[in-house]
Structure 1
């Protein structure tokens, strides 16, 4: 007889064949849950899988704004409010041309379990727009953010839904969004996280996702008697997560030697110069080719020179790899190359950066593998710490927040590792993280009734 998981997956594939990334995310979670479903028949009786894979609410809206030449532009905006069983919806906003409902459903679904793993009272959600900030002036970005918030404000609130940043939405964009929310509602509340320190932001929030991925890698390696100290690491991406992943790697004695963006990659055998990377990406907002102009030891490889279907970052020999760019950036061939070159640890800083085949290759090889919903939970965890500070009108020190972050990441590792062992899959943090995140949300849904 067909299993409960397979029936649910077949139904989803029939209805959402046009959303392959969403289906991939659901499959990755559901295929890990059979053991917990077998032990707990109440989940099937209460149709928990059918309920948890569907968002509680999906909102889409038109965003109309005026560019610098006076032309009216129209974009599509979204907010997927996925699950509020354990707290208000929490998840970032992504501004990128690739944004559509399927992408945001994948991200929101992942967010449910990631947020559950933090141990904090936050549900799962995600949002964004098909707006491309690249090449836009500050005034155009401000006008777009204001127009976007003119629609979004109807659906969010400090105890309802608290968005944050994601790809294309950094501190500048969060500031514009928050300013417009405050003008419309006349309410000074923690309705967005990742804010400027001048108006309710938290120290260490900017660094949190990148730092957290390194903390999680340390926890995995410590359990095996290994360390990042004096090790060569590769990092993909060149945004917020990648920058602060590199920074924390130096702080723990490792050496990051790569970063990448949509146009190419840098390999600097002497180690990535974080101050130069920040200048190029956070101040000048330029391509990484600019980094190569400033750093003589850096070698720049444009995307056009990559092997077909491959990411050149993963061809660089390393002890540990940190995928910090975007979904499905690391495929099976990339995974084989990393393993052949002696990679002992992969900690995912981006959302679902490894394909399912790559994930299974890492698990089969028995290396330390930290899936995204566990390894990159530091950002949303620190966002919740920002919410706590806003609610009490307090501001904690960098050290206090960073210490809480380190403890949260270690607790996530312990929870995932112990749950994996409990369900007969020791060392498999995919199974451990999925079951641990799922159980908390599913039990809350049952307790709250249908």
Structure 2
């Protein structure tokens, strides 16, 4: 295993995020490899870290002033052993191969945990939607799809949204796909309700994360009612994490964006959350405006010179990192513990550094890795695919009920796998082993391909 990781680092020395994701998974599955030596003889590790297909392309588009711009586009089809590739498209200046490979790698095991037949993939562009007009975003999405359409389809690869890609972008992407292919198929998820989208899809990642946290607390005969919760982010995942926490009687005291964070000791109620939704989804403003609207809240500007994030240095019992990768460092983890946090449930992908994870596990924190706790989004994307295939739409209650059932099943799967390998209560090991075994068994069944 060490040789595989070292060889990977030599071949792609600059892909730090991808290396981190691989080391985290491979570091926990050693007992599986010892139990099943056939896995090593089949070069499973080497096959898992190489994308089945990696597509990179140029995107050329015109802004409103007639200026030509060039961006890079990507689609990584990581592993399709258990179904069509499934994973989001991210439009953000930080997008590069390392980040997309880490996300695609995580997606493989996350999708396996949902019990739905979906492989893992990811894609996107270094295009920044911020500050762009709707017409500019439409032109970019159309140019992006003019290349991507060759590589996706309802039985091949079904992208979804991610950071920078919401219902607006999905609409523009789908419109061009439909024109180019002359067909109306479920090639994208996250669509608007009027033309194939699923109820609960926007809420699914945040809701699912809270459902998973509730299951963890239930193992200690506890609930979220009355708990003070720290939430990072203010996008889709964070908004619906806050909404469901309010539903279950918790008090949320923070939200953030790349500019900084707000701390509202009185709690973010439904009225304040509605303001954040309008601010972010309609006006596309900055979270600092929350403190202007509600003067009792304190806004703290992001300071890149600090070696910790002050958001995680506030009194609370539960933390829901829902912004981006590696947002909780080892020092942040220590601050969380010192302030009384005993549950961390990840809404973002890989938001905790390895040092932070080690601290959580060493201190008996209920720690849910993102591949388990934020799987609700892709789970409901899978349900959207099913509805599209059957040409029907399930009511909200049915989709929410299925989401709850899936999250409960993922929770049990993680606990069972951890217990089977002698690590009871360790959700990180349980999630990694359960997802790994399902994918690897499918790969072996299908031969050397």
Q: Give the TM-score normalised by structure 2.
A: 0.98
Aligned partner of 1:340 in structure 2 is: 338
Q: Distance between the aligned counterparts of 1:406 and 1:179, measured in 2?
A: 32
1:287 maps to: 286
* Structure 2 Cα separation of the partners of residues 311 and 376 of structure 1: 22
CA distance in 1, matches of 2:224, 2:298: 24
Residue from 45, 50, 64 that aligns with 1:54? 50
Instruction: Provide the rounded CA distance (Å) in 1 between the counterparts of 2:234 and 2:47.
Output: 37
Which of 393, 400, 416 is the matching residue for 1:395? 393
Structure 1 residue aligned with 2:417:
419
SS at match of 2:22: helix
Say whether 1:100 aligns with 2:96: yes
* Whole-angstrom CA distance in 2 between matches of 1:186 and 1:295: 50
Alpha-carbon distance, 1:191 to partner? 0.4
Partner of residue 376, structure 1? 374
Q: Does 1:449 align with 2:447?
A: yes
What is the CA–CA distance in structure 1 between the aligned matches of 2:347 and 2:362, rounded to whole Å? 21
SS of equivalent residue, structure 1 residue 108: helix
Equivalent in the alignment of 1:432: 430
Partners in 1 of 2:181 and 2:194 — Cα distance?
19
Deviation at 1:307, TM superposition (A): 6.5
After TM superposition, the structure 1 = structure 2 runs for residues 296-375 of structure 1, keeping only pairs within 5 Å, are 296-304=295-303, 308-375=306-373
Distance 1:424 1:17 in 2: 34
Partner of 1:17: 13
2:142 corresponds in structure 1 to: 146
Greater Cα offset, 261-270 or 57-66 = 261-270
Q: Residues of 2 paired with 1:282 and 1:320: CA distance? A: 26
2:298, 2:338 → 1: CA distance?
23
Match of 2:273 in 1: 274
SS at match of 1:339: helix
Which of 151-160 and 308-317 deviates more?
A: 308-317
Cα distance, 1:348 vs structure 2 = 0.1
Provide the residue aligned with 1:230 in structure 2. Answer: 226
Q: Which residue of 1 aligns with 2:176?
A: 180
Within 2, Cα distance between the matches of 1:284 and 1:75?
25
Q: How does 1:18-97 map to 2 (within 5 A)?
A: 18-97=14-93
Task: Give structure 1 regions of 4+ aligned residues with deviation exceeding 2 angstroms.
Answer: none
Deviations 1:350-409 (A, max 9, x none): 000000110111011111100010000000000000000000001001111011101101
Structure 1 position 100, deviation (Å): 0.7
TM-superposition CA deviations, 1:209-233 (whole Å, max 9, x none): 0001100000111011111101100
- Name the counterpart of 1:257: 253
2:56 is paired with a residue of what secondary structure? strand
Distance of 1:332 and 1:153 partners within structure 2 = 42
Structure 2 CA distance, aligned partners of 1:196 and 1:60? 28
Q: C-alpha distance in 2, partners of 1:165/1:155?
A: 17
Aligned: 1:115 with 2:111:
yes
Aligned partners of 1:13, 1:366: CA distance in 2, in Å? 32
Structure 1 CA distance for aligned equivalents of residues 406 and 363 of structure 2: 27
Question: Which residue of structure 2 aligns with residue 157 of structure 1?
Answer: 153
Pairwise CA distance, 1:308: 0.7
Q: Compute the displacement of 1:296 (Å).
A: 2.5
**SS state of the match for residue 50, structure 2?**
coil
- Listed one character per residue, the Cα deviations across residues 90-111 of structure 1 (whole Å, up to 9, x for unaligned) are 0000000110111100000000
Q: 1:398-422, CA deviations, whole angstroms, 9 ceiling, x for partnerless residues?
A: 1110111011011101000110010
Output the CA distance in 2 between the equivalents of 1:296 and 1:247: 22
Q: Give the SS at the match of 1:438.
A: helix
* Deviation at residue 309 of structure 1 after TM alignment: 2.3
Structure 2: distance between partners of 1:130 and 1:309: 26
Q: Secondary structure at the match of 1:326?
A: coil
DSSP 3-state at the match of 2:139: helix
Q: C-alpha displacement at 1:204, in angstroms?
A: 0.1
Give the Å deviation of 1:279. 1.0
List per-residue Cα deviations over 1:280-299 (Å, max 9, x = no partner): 10111000111222123221
Q: Aligned to 2:197, what secondary structure does the other structure show?
A: coil
How much is the aligned-residue C-alpha RMSD, in angstroms? 0.8
Unaligned runs of 5+ in 2: none
2-structure distance, mates of 1:439, 1:56: 19
